[in-house]
Amino acid sequence: MSDTLAENAELTMTDQVYSDDPLSDRETDHYRKEYVSTFVDKWDELIDWRGRAESEGQFFIDILRARGKERVLDVACGTGFHSVRLTEEGFDVTAADGSAAMVAKAFENGQARGLILKTTQADWRWLNRDIAGKYDAIICLGNSFTHLHEEKDRRRALAEFYAALKHDGLLILDQRNYDAMIDNGYSTKHKFYYCGDNITAEPDHVDEGLCRMRYSFPDGSSYTLNMCPIRKNYMRRLLQEAGFERVRTYGDFQETYAEDDPDFFIHVAEKS
């Protein structure tokens, strides 16, 4: 299928596609079959923009401003929450995502707030083919990176991020606390990221190679995402091996935390 045909097909798909045994769907490309238009339309109910803005406060803005970063590439823009927020705060943002439906939704959400977002569809594994110039900072948020199921894809995506950054660029990448999920079972205070009322986000299945999350909505609909449950220290090592000189990891936006407590880890990786 040509790129344009594939994009159009993605924009009109309404049912998520899994094989007969969904627990066997562990490929990096699978995200394209998960973010179907009906799920994309529901995403903002799931994340609740106002609640999310309150939860994370000025965290990302402060980190970027403290280091004088202005030109930001949001490589997993989704429906545009961070792209819109950072644009409103005066950053020069490009919103990118591998899903055509997500990019279209981000643009629409920007327009609804009086913004014309710069958008592009780009898969991380071929990022530099589809973007122009170098960036001060890249953000990859909302547990997005854990859509990569194979180590070679994780290394490749990080190499692309590294190459798209200026010599002193910064990468901010977050992930669920899978260590706690694998070692102790799942629990969440439901406070960060997925804040929508009456919506549940919980794992259907967790093993060392798969975390299948289920999102259930008040209208009875439910959608799933098959993610790869990468551990915190493994992710830190990958960042270092990709060439980032300093990697600082926060737990739920705090510098100090007990390992099991946070729902999310946020890695801030500096090139120099």
Query: Which residues of this chain interact with ligand SAM, rule CB under 6 A?
Result: 31, 35, 47, 76, 78, 81, 97-99, 102, 123-125, 141-144, 147
Least separation in angstroms between residue 272's CB and ligand SAM is 26
Q: Cβ closer to ligand SAM: 138 or 247?
A: 138
For residue 63, report the phi and psi dihedrals to the nearest 5 degrees.
Answer: -60, -45
Least separation in angstroms between residue 78's CB and ligand SAM is 2
Q: Tell me the residue number closest to ligand SAM, measured at CB.
A: 142
Q: How many residues does the chain have?
A: 272
Do 76 and 140 meet the contact criterion of CB atoms below 8 Å apart? Answer: yes
Q: Cβ closer to ligand SAM: 10 or 179?
A: 10
Least separation in angstroms between residue 180's CB and ligand SAM is 19
Least separation in angstroms between residue 43's CB and ligand SAM is 7
Q: Which helix (H) or strand (E) holds 184?
A: helix 178-184
Q: Which residue in the block uniquely carries the two structure tokens 């629409």?
A: 108
Q: Cβ closer to ligand SAM: 30 or 69?
A: 30
Angle, helices 100-112/3-12, rounded to nearest 10 degrees:
60
Q: Cβ closer to ligand SAM: 8 or 272?
A: 8
Beta bridge partners of 120: 96
For residue 219, report the phi and psi dihedrals to the nearest 5 degrees.
Answer: -80, 5
